Amino acid sequence: MSHADVDPGPAERESSPAEVRRVAISSYLGNTIEFYDFILYGSAAALVFGPLFFSDLSPALATVASFATLASGYVARPLGGIVLGHFGDAIGRKKVLLLTMVLMGLASGAIGLLPTYEQIGVAAPLLLVLLRILQGFAVGGEWGGAVLLTAEHAPGRRRGFLVAIGQTGLATGGLLSTVAMALVALLPAEQLFSWGWRLPFLVSFLLLGLGLYMRLRVSESPVFRELENRPRPPRVPLVRIVRTPGLLLRSVAAALPSTVATALFGTYMISYAGVLGYSRPTILTSLCIAWAAAIVLLPLFGLLTDRIGRRPVFVFGAVSLAVVVYPAFLAVRTGSMLALTAIMVFVSAISSNACVSALAPLLSEMFPTSVRYTGVSMAYQLASLLAGLSPLVASSLVAGLGTSVGTTWIVIGTVAVGLGGAAVVWSMRDTSGSNLRTVGDPTRRPASPATAVDAAEAHS
């Protein structure tokens, strides 16, 4: 769609520039806090949770078990997306985002208070899994809500850039959590495994207060407020979405490249590099550089999606992931910190963020307002579930088949995800700048992807 086709409807003119900036900053801080908590768990799972909570297992099996608890959070994310997405479509984006922040902050802080396996036995890993599930449930409603609150406030021609500002919070949260873990990793092993690992999690209690303060200061989405004054469809959002499985499947396929890249290179590669002999400080320093680069590049990619469209930016990111994954695994085996850092930067800051910058506004432009929170959350969190299993699958393949054969299958799977996502998005109509107020309106031409949702509802 060209900018000439954009219809800047009245709902998109309701928010003042000051309010739009406030919402974007609030989404940025909210994502920073939420993903600090969520990504911190991944670093801890790779570095310390095995000996702390699975000390009765061999080192290899303890790593697999630790990644299994990591995966439990990803399993809970689609459930959180469905439940919290439903309420986000029913009672508003802002109220649900306040709830997700409280759940995440309390669950993450509580992890820092957990006793270990040596102290209470099998109850320790069970409590760890429970808190990880709460984390996953909370983040299941966070990403979609933060995207929509910004997207529905933003003017159409700047939506990609403003949504990308909020998404930069993911990279900032990743950077802060990695820095926190890198600092405590400098402690002697005895202190690290006794009390040092707890400190980054306990910081979550302080971040919760800051996050709530910021979120209470923003207003509800004007697009949602307008919806409240119109008659609601008779079915719940989940039912309406599953009646158009093609739209949901395309959305999941589009979300897979970035989520797989984050899980595989932001979590599994930490453990894999450790097995290859990289020191903890070296691994975490490389990851910090990658997160810092992502903070700079994500808004630039977002701006680019407004200028040239969502599709070319996304396809660049997804195809580059497919191309680089095999050389990446070869390079990391050289033992060079420079090689490890280059891999982390390219995949985490360039390939993944090119996809994310296009994906966030793209998903919001695919679903009508009445089911948008549920649709966006389900798509992203189902993809995150599949991606979140990749560190567990990868570590299991390497442990069961050996490094060479296991790595080959990891590469094949990642290439398929990257190329598949690129093909799906390229086949879609570009939605840059579309009016979110009229998405899904069957009287509008050219028809948006969301029209299928309303058409299915009308004929049911």
Q: Tell me the per-residue pLDDT of 280-325, one tens digit each, with 9 for 90 and over.
A: 778 878 888 988 999 999 999 999 999 999 999 999 999 999 998 8
Alpha helix (H) residue ranges in 276-351: 280-308, 310-332, 337-344
Instruction: Kindly write down the DSSP assignment for every residue of 165-190, as one continuous string.
Output: HHHHHHHHHHHHHHHHHHHHHTS-HH
pLDDT in tens, 7-45: 444 444 567 888 888 888 888 988 888 888 877 887 787
Q: How far apart are CA 248 and CA 242, in angstroms?
A: 7
Say if 2 falls within a structural domain: no
Say if 104 falls within a structural domain: yes
The per-residue pLDDT for 77 is 87
- Token pair 């092993």: residue: 189
Say if 3 falls within a structural domain: no
Say if 428 falls within a structural domain: yes
Domain assignment of residue 242, given as a range: 12-458
In terms of Cβ atoms closer than 10 Å to its own Cβ (0-12, 13-18, 19+), residue 26 is: buried
pLDDT in tens, 92-116: 899 999 999 899 889 989 999 999 8
Contacts of residues 3-10 at CB distance under 8 Å and 24 or more positions apart, as own/partner, are 3/157, 3/432, 3/433, 5/433, 6/156, 6/157, 6/433, 6/434, 6/435, 7/434, 7/435, 7/438, 8/155, 8/156, 8/157, 8/435, 9/435, 9/437, 9/438, 10/437
Q: How far apart are CA 17 and CA 59, in angstroms?
A: 54
The per-residue pLDDT for 320 is 93
Please tell me the total count of domains within the chain: 1
The per-residue pLDDT for 14 is 60
Which CATH number covers residue 46? 1.20.1250.20
Q: How far apart are CA 277 and CA 298, in angstroms?
A: 31
C-beta neighbour count of 30 within 10 angstroms: 28
C-beta neighbour count of 133 within 10 angstroms: 20
pLDDT in tens, 204-214: 898 888 888 88
Say if 4 falls within a structural domain: no
Say if 1 falls within a structural domain: no
Asked if the model's pLDDT at residue 260 lies above 70, the reply is: yes
The per-residue pLDDT for 87 is 92
Say if 174 falls within a structural domain: yes
The per-residue pLDDT for 250 is 93
The per-residue pLDDT for 349 is 87
Q: How far apart are CA 319 and CA 340, in angstroms?
A: 20
Q: How far apart are CA 395 and CA 407, in angstroms?
A: 9
Say if 6 falls within a structural domain: no
| 256 or 262, greater pLDDT | 256
